């Protein structure tokens, strides 16, 4: 097969990582793969760049729209698009892609669109807070002055998407049952839908010796270590830094407990919090997971939450709010601790539960995590599932 991917970037955060893993695995299986992105970080020849226009980017913010102003129709004239059997669209928001181009793609080729967040069925945000639906779309909150312009423009953004979706057909993939259920009351409910879990490389994310990894990472051997992983760390409003921070404050007088924030290395370390730069190397991140006693996952909203399955694959317990993949991946007190949503005392209870677990029970939890990932969330399962979907769509 000849497959063309569209995405914001090739490598980086969770959504980029999953798409890149899928694309490179398909190449290894003998398929022809190309990719158009705006943020190219690799040197791969299969990746082509969507040029960045500063003034178009400025206009899109000024007029409160991430659908218009961008010149992406050139992709339709490229050999990569013309020769493609199927187009696999991923994140097309973040002010770089024209929605009209997507409509033209659907008219010319079979299209699979993986919803890495709920932007396709909201007015403009990746995750709605309110579950009320208007015109088949979720409305969005306002977290900043920049998004205020989109807040004012919500009806226009909904209208543009609604009109387009009613004229075209595409195949939807959601990475979790939670995401799939969220589509039931939206304008895309008539579209063909599949659920394919995001897969991780279980040869990279695997259990390592805790003592050795702590020595390698210069971490204390005699402390209980709990980590928080988020691109941009504390400044990422969706990842729940405020809850992790309050958790660390609660344990601030217990010298045997250390908290690590990975993804925000510019902050000055505190007595019981160490800040680490964003880690793009899977092997290094795997070492951090293996060095930890648990991952703290306190996001406000997630479509999946790749760090959860990465940590599980390394045999690490997870203390988490029930968002994204958590209800499907973690059984409370069997292979992790599911805390009450946005509830710091419940997070504290989860940390204490992990700290006081008998050694045999803790080992059983670690083993259960690894086995669940191998059975449901491996990269191989994801790649095989997408290949079967492509074949079915082409028929």
Question: Looking at the domain assignment, is residue 204 inside a domain?
Answer: no
User: What would the DSSP string read from start to end of 305-359?
Assistant: -HHHHHHHHTT--EEE-S-TTHHHH--BTTTBEEPPTT-HHHHHHHHHHHHT--H
Clarify whether residues 332 and 386 are in a common domain. no
Pair 215, 188 in one domain? no
- Both tokens of 378, joined, read 């491996």
In this model, does residue 143 exceed pLDDT 70? no
Task: Flag whether pLDDT at 13 surpasses 80.
Answer: no
Position 149 scores a pLDDT of 67
Residue 228 placed within a domain: yes
Q: Answer yes or no: do 18 and 130 share one domain.
A: yes
195 and 319 both lie in a single domain: no
Question: What is the pLDDT, as a whole number, of residue 128?
Answer: 83
Question: Is there a contact between 382 and 22 (Cβ–Cβ < 8 Å)?
Answer: yes
CA 49/CA 8 separation, integer angstroms: 10
Would you say 240 and 300 are in contact if contact means Cβ atoms under 8 Å apart? yes
State pTM to two decimals.
0.91
- pLDDT number for residue 144: 47
Lowest mean pLDDT among 123-127, 243-247, 257-261, 361-365: 123-127
pLDDT above 70: residue 123: yes
Query: Is residue 165 domain-shared with residue 308, that is, in the same domain?
Result: no
Residue 111 φ/ψ, nearest 5 degrees: -125, 130
Strand spans (E) along 165-269: 171-174, 193-195, 224-229, 257-262
Contact call for residues 341 and 155 (beta carbons, < 8 A): no
- Taking a C-beta distance cutoff of 8 angstroms, is the pair 46, 34 a contact? yes
Is 169 within a domain?
Answer: yes
Share of the chain above pLDDT 90, in %: 76
Contact between 280 and 268 (Cβ < 8 Å): no
> Which of 116, 121, 239 is closest to 175 using CA atoms?
116
Q: Which residues contact 384 (CB under 8 A, 6 or more apart)?
A: none
109 sits in the region (left: phi over 0; alpha: psi -120 to 50; else beta) called: beta
The answer to whether residue 205 is domain-embedded is: no
57 domain-assigned: yes
Residues 136 and 233 in one domain: no
Chain position carrying tokens 């991946």: 329
pLDDT at residue 191, rounded to an integer: 96
Helical pair 306-313 and 282-291, crossing angle rounded to 10 deg = 70
Residue 278 and residue 243 in one domain: yes
Instruction: Summarize the confidence of residues 310-339 as an average pLDDT.
Output: 95
Residue 164 lies in a domain: yes
Residues 259 and 167 in one domain: no
* Bridge partners for 193 per DSSP: 172
State mean pLDDT over 84-94.
95
Higher pLDDT, 13 or 110: 110
Integer Cα distance of 127 and 237 in angstroms: 11
In the chain, % of residues over pLDDT 70: 96
d(CA 4, CA 102): 13
Least confident span in 58-67, 89-98, 294-303, 325-334:
58-67
287 shares a domain with 142: no
Position 63 confidence tier, pLDDT thresholds 50, 70, 90:
confident
pLDDT band at 238 (very low <50, low <70, confident <90, very high): confident
Tokens (6 digits) for 309: 């399955």
Task: Clarify whether residues 281 and 248 are in a common domain.
Answer: yes
pLDDT bucket at 145, cuts 50 / 70 / 90: very low
On the question of pLDDT at 90 being above 70, the answer is yes
200 strand-pairing partners: 378
Q: Domain tally for the chain?
A: 2
Element of type H or E holding 248:
helix 241-250
Q: List strand residue ranges (DSSP E) for the chain, in order.
A: 2-6, 32-37, 47-49, 86-89, 111-114, 133-134, 137-138, 171-174, 193-195, 224-229, 257-262, 273-276, 294-297, 318-320, 337-338
Do 60 and 134 fall within a single domain?
Answer: yes
Whole-number Å distance between alpha carbons of 57 and 70 = 8
Question: Measured between alpha carbons, how far is 11 from 5 in angstroms, rounded to an integer?
Answer: 13
Query: How far is the CA of 279 from the CAs of 55, 130, 288, in angstroms?
Result: 31, 32, 10
Helix 154-165 × helix 99-108 angle, to 10°: 10
Helix, strand or coil, per DSSP, at residue 189:
coil
What would the mean pLDDT of 183-192 be, rounded to a whole number?
94
How far is 364 from 170, CA to CA, in rounded Å?
A: 43
One-character DSSP codes across 54-95 = HHHHHHHHHTT-SSSS---GGGGGSHHHHT-SEEEE----SS
* Model pLDDT, residue 266: 61
Q: Mean pLDDT across the stretch 334-339?
A: 94
240 and 305, same domain (yes or no): yes
Residue 62: inside a domain, yes or no?
Answer: yes
CATH number at 255 reads 3.40.50.2000
The parent domain of residue 247 ranges over: 210-376
Please compute the mean of the pLDDT values over residues 241-255 and round it to a whole number.
92
Structure tokens belonging to residue 194: 């599949």
261 in any annotated domain: yes
pLDDT > 90? residue 154:
no
């Amino acid at each position: 097969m000849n497959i063309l991917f569209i995405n914001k970037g090739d490598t980086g955060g969770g959504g980029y990582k999953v798409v890149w893993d899928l694309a490179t695995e398909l190449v290894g299986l003998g398929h022809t793969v190309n990719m158009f992105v705006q943020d190219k970080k690799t040197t791969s020849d299969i990746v082509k760049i969507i040029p960045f226009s500063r003034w178009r980017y400025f206009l899109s913010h000024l007029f409160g729209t991430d659908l218009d102003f961008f010149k992406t129709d050139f992709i339709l004239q490229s050999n990569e698009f013309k020769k493609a059997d199927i187009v696999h669209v991923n994140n097309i928001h973040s002010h770089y892609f024209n929605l009209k181009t997507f409509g033209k793609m659907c008219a010319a080729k079979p299209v699979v669109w993986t919803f890495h967040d709920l932007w396709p069925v909201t007015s403009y945000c990746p995750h709605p807070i309110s579950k009320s639906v208007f015109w088949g779309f979720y409305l969005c909150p306002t977290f900043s002055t920049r998004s205020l312009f989109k807040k004012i423009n919500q009806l226009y953004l909904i209208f543009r998407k609604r009109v387009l979706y009613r004229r075209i057909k595409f195949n939807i993939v959601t990475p979790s049952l939670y995401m799939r259920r969220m589509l039931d009351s939206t304008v895309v409910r008539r579209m063909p839908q599949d659920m394919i879990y995001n897969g991780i490389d279980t040869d990279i994310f695997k259990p390592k010796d805790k003592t050795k990894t702590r020595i390698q990472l210069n971490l204390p051997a005699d402390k209980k270590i709990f980590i928080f992983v988020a691109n941009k760390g504390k400044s990422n409003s969706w990842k729940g830094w405020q809850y992790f921070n309050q958790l660390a404050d609660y344990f601030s007088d217990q010298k045997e407990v250390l908290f690590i924030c990975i993804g925000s290395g510019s902050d000055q370390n505190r007595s019981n919090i160490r800040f680490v730069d964003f880690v793009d190397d899977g092997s290094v991140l795997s070492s951090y997971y293996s060095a930890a006693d648990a991952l703290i996952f306190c996001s406000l909203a997630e479509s999946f939450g790749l760090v959860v399955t990465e940590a599980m694959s390394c045999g690490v317990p997870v203390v988490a709010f029930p968002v994204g993949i958590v209800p499907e991946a973690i059984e409370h007190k069997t292979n992790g601790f599911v805390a009450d949503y946005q509830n710091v005392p419940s997070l504290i209870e989860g940390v204490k539960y992990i700290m006081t677990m008998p050694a045999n029970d803790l080992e059983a939890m670690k083993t259960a995590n690894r086995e669940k990932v191998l059975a449901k969330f491996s990269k191989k399962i994801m790649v095989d599932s997408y290949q079967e979907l492509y074949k079915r769509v082409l028929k």
